[in-house]
DNA sequence: CTGAAAGCGCTAACAC
DNA sequence: GTGTTAGCGCTTTCAG
């Protein structure tokens, strides 16, 4: 009654290791070992078992494996959104960063779990960590969560954050030299003969604050007094920022240059300026921050402070894996570089 | 010897349900039910248990839950790369699509598992499915895998593919009307007085083939004979495509317009043309396909066949969830629309 | 309403 | 070398 010929695939599509074991006439452990390439099993038998698994389309069930091994071979990439859940993942900088991270993580044969999370609810980070869906975490941007990150960092090591270097920071961060970037931008504009330079950008997040600081530093070095009327808080998205800039324009404050917190805001500024009949860079020179792909192709091409995303992503993933291995890898500052294009000269 | 005060968090950070049960003085089952909001447990007790879990930072271990429930609350988003593993996820269209999909999937309280996969190895799709890491799959682009997808579709239902509608297609696909898009582009160029219209794009993938077909259809409708010398196969990436176009230019074939398979290729064409001293659109009019964010901001702004990604992503995720629910939801064709900007008029 | 017990599918001591 | 066995941490019958 035990015809091996009918001991074939059961319930099509839900093979388990026991099925393969039966077909191969060995125990489950042997299959497990064979599939893991364990040299304890003679090569011939190993190949035979792998062959059987392959022809029947059997693959180890990762849920079971993850539970047993207490690891998932997965990295969580979390995108903190500050406001309501409605906010979309459309920011080009985020998208480029996600692509870069995915490349780096995939290269190490780990999977990427994308987590968009609204950070207004306390315990959001603990929840992600304790769900045990990932072996490590990369956060794109620290948002307003410096304190929350610090609190968690003490007990949860495999975590790396893209963002600003802050005093008293106990979590591992990778980010650009924002202050220097801001300074470079202003120095460039001053060198191009501009003196009434506006700052456009959000002010709540640390990175923005540092770029603003660099802006003021640049002004100071040039001997130009900081004029609060030229510091314009803007939202992050292109459309919203453009409306804000348009409103600022109609307020009639005089200025001949703009340093924007990001390329997206810079593009918004160019849009608003053009719509108002001001010429870029003739009437107003514009410098952005990030060097997203768009910057090179915009009209006019955008002068910007370049952040090397490939470097940043690689650094983050490197540090993360070292932390996952138990090392106490420290924060890194990525260099920035001014890229001069048509929007400022 | 059983002081409840010392029955606190063990081994910091690896709480399990049993720990919470002990602290609450109830059984594991009760905790499980309470945390799941099961109304069998009186509200007061439920709240108390939730409270305890919260203050101790306990969250249900998803690996265990997934195994037990045979589901993961996760959607796999797979990005098929045709060639070596080295290829990067940098294509703006892919990136925008990933963002859109992530938004739609997150909105339904599912997670996104990003899978970059080299489709040259047989069994790649079965491997993803059988690993049971996701409850459903969205493939961005069918690449050259029509046959493989068909084979799998018969036994694996919760899968939706972004791509072309093909004869004999048994898998669920969402995609734009590529033929119509190509036709629209050519009709527009003809209407603008152009007659020597080149097609730039890859030819291996179905979507490209359909756009090429639309191109020829447009020519036929305008009574223009198809000239094979004007059909130029190009790679997908901006840099590579730009080199190809530059080579084509130096071959000296006369033409006054370009219909590019994608906005990226169109941008590459503009780059190559500009470098060669040809004016866009004066000497050569350019039309792209996709309407990525970049298209609106390029110099000159790109005329393009718009694919509604928000619609596409929503449609794919809708269909996928209906399929996951057992419904046999069918393929959908998304409408396309010509967006006229400065690169063609 | 609550608890005991079975089992999701796998890996790795620990025997033999 | 290979098999037996004991969990990984959870959900859910089934009994009470």
pLDDT of residue A133: 97
Quote the CA–CA distance of A341 and A115 in Å, as a whole number: 35
The domain total for chain A is 3
Q: Which residue in A has a C-alpha nearest to residue B301's C-alpha?
A: A299
Give me the mean pLDDT over the B9-29 stretch: 84
Q: Is the CB of A61 under 7 A from strand D?
A: no
Do B208 and B303 fall into the same domain?
A: yes
pLDDT value at residue A1: 33
More confident position, B7 or B296: B296
Place of tokens 């396909």: B289
Return the DSSP state at A330.
P
State the pLDDT at residue A274: 95
Query: Is any atom of strand D within 7 angstroms of residue B32's beta carbon?
Result: yes
> What is the Cα–Cα distance from B313 to B316, expressed in whole angstroms?
5
Residue at A343 is within a domain: no
CB of B308 within 8 Å of a chain A CB? The answer is no
Residue B5 has pLDDT above 80, yes or no: no
Q: Tens digits of per-residue pLDDT, A178-193?
A: 999 999 999 999 999 9
Give dist(CA A72, CA A65) in Å, integer.
8
C-beta atoms surrounding B282 within 10 Å: 8
**Residues B209-223 as b or e (16 or more Cβ within 10 Å = b):** bbbbebbbbbbeebe
Query: How many residue pairs from chains A and B have C-beta atoms closer than 8 A?
Result: 148
Q: What is the mean pLDDT of residues A158-176?
A: 95
Q: Give the CA distances from residue B190 to residues A75, B204, B208, B224, B287, in Å, rounded to whole numbers and listed in that order.
A: 51, 27, 21, 9, 12
Q: Which of A59, A111, A130 lies at the smallest CB-CB distance from B58?
A: A130
Domain boundary among B44, B69, B94: B69
Closest nt to residue A63, judged CA to C1': C9
Q: What's the token pair of residue B149?
A: 């997808």
Residues B193 and B271 in one domain: yes
| pLDDT number for residue B90 | 87
A12 touches strand D (CB under 7 A): no
Residues B268, B171, single domain; the answer is no
Round the average pLDDT of chain B to a whole number and report it. 92
CA pair distance B61, B82, nearest whole angstrom: 36
Residue of A nearest to B118 (CA): A106
Q: Which nucleotide is nearest to A40 (CA to C1')?
A: D1
Q: Answer whether A59 sits within 8 Å of B106, measured CB to CB.
A: no
Strand partners, B289: B305
Does residue A243 sit in the same domain as residue A203? yes
Predicted confidence band of residue A59 (pLDDT cuts 50, 70, 90): very high
Do A239 and A294 lie in one domain? The reply is: yes
What's the pLDDT band for A204 if we cut at 50, 70, 90? confident
pLDDT in tens, A28-45: 999 999 999 999 999 999
Please give the share of chain A, as a percent, with pLDDT higher than 70. 95
Residue A254 within a domain: yes
* Stronger pLDDT, A9 or A304, i.e. the higher one: A304
Whole-angstrom Cα distance, residue B241 to residue B247?
Answer: 10
Q: What burial class does residue B325 get, using C-beta atoms within 10 Å of its C-beta: 0-12 exposed, 13-18 middle, 19+ buried?
A: exposed
A237 touches strand C (CB under 7 A): no
Distance CA B2, CA A149 (A): 36
What nucleotide is nearest B32 when CA is compared to C1'?
D11
Tell me, yes or no, whether B343 lies in a domain. no
Can you tell me which residue has its alpha carbon closest to the C1' of nucleotide C3?
B27
Residue B39: nearest nucleotide (C-alpha to C1'): C1
Q: Is B223 left (phi over 0), alpha (psi -120 to 50) or beta?
A: left
Are B64 and A67 inside 8 Å of each other by CB? yes
Q: What is the mean pLDDT of residues A250-264?
A: 97
Whether pLDDT at B176 is above 60: yes
Read off the pLDDT of residues A96-118 as tens digits, 9 standing for 90 and up. 999 999 999 999 999 999 999 98
Convert the pLDDT of each residue in A145-159 to its tens digit.
999 999 999 999 999
CATH number at residue B56: 1.10.260.40
Residues 17-56 of A with CB under 7 A from strand D: 26-30, 33, 40-42, 45
Helix (H) / strand (E) containing B333: strand B332-334
Residue A338 has pLDDT above 90, yes or no: yes
Give chain B positions within 8 Å (CB) of A85: 106-107
Confidence category of residue A13, pLDDT binned at 50, 70, 90? low
Give the CATH number of the domain where residue B115 resides.
Answer: 3.40.50.2300
Taking residue B327's Cβ as centre, other Cβ atoms within 10 Å add up to 11
Q: Which positions ≥6 away from A262 have C-beta within 8 Å?
A: A93, A201, A236, A288, A289, A290
Domain interval for residue A197: 178-307
Q: In what order do the strands lie in the sheet with A285-290?
A: A231-233, A197-201, A257-260, A285-290, A303-307, A336-339
């Amino acid at each position: 009654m035990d015809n091996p010929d009918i001991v074939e695939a059961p319930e099509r599509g839900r093979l388990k290791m026991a099925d393969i074991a039966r077909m191969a006439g060995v125990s489950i452990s042997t299959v497990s070992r064979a599939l893991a390439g364990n040299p304890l099993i003679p090569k011939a038998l190993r190949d035979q078992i792998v062959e059987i698994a392959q022809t029947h389309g059997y693959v180890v069930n990762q849920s079971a494996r993850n539970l047993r091994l207490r690891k998932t071979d997965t990295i969580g990439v979390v995108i903190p959104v500050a406001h309501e859940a409605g906010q979309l993942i459309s920011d080009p900088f985020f998208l480029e960063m996600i692509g870069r991270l995915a490349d780096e993580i995939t290269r190490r044969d780990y999977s990427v779990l994308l987590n968009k999370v609204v950070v207004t609810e306390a315990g959001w980070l603990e929840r992600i960590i304790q769900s045990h869906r990932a072996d490590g975490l990369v956060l794109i941007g620290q948002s307003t969560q410096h304190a929350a990150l610090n609190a968690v960092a003490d007990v949860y090591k495999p975590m790396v954050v893209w963002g600003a270097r802050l005093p008293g920071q106990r979590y591992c961060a990778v980010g650009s030299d924002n202050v220097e970037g801001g300074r470079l931008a202003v120095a460039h504009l001053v060198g191009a003969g501009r003196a009434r330079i506006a700052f456009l950008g959000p002010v709540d997040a640390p990175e923005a604050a540092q770029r603003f600081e660099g802006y003021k530093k640049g002004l100071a070095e040039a001997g130009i007094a900081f004029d609060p009327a030229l510091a314009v808080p803007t939202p992050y998205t292109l459309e919203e920022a453009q409306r804000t800039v348009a409103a600022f324009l109609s307020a009639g404050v005089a200025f001949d240059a703009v340093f924007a917190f990001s390329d997206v805001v810079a593009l918004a500024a160019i849009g608003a300026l053009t719509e108002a009949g001001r010429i870029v860079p003739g009437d107003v020179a514009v410098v952005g921050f990030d060097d997203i792909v768009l910057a090179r192709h915009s009209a006019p091409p955008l002068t910007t402070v370049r952040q090397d995303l490939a470097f940043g992503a690689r650094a983050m993933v490197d540090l993360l894996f070292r932390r996952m291995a138990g090392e106490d890898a420290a924060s890194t500052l990525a260099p920035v570089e001014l890229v001069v294009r048509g929007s400022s000269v």
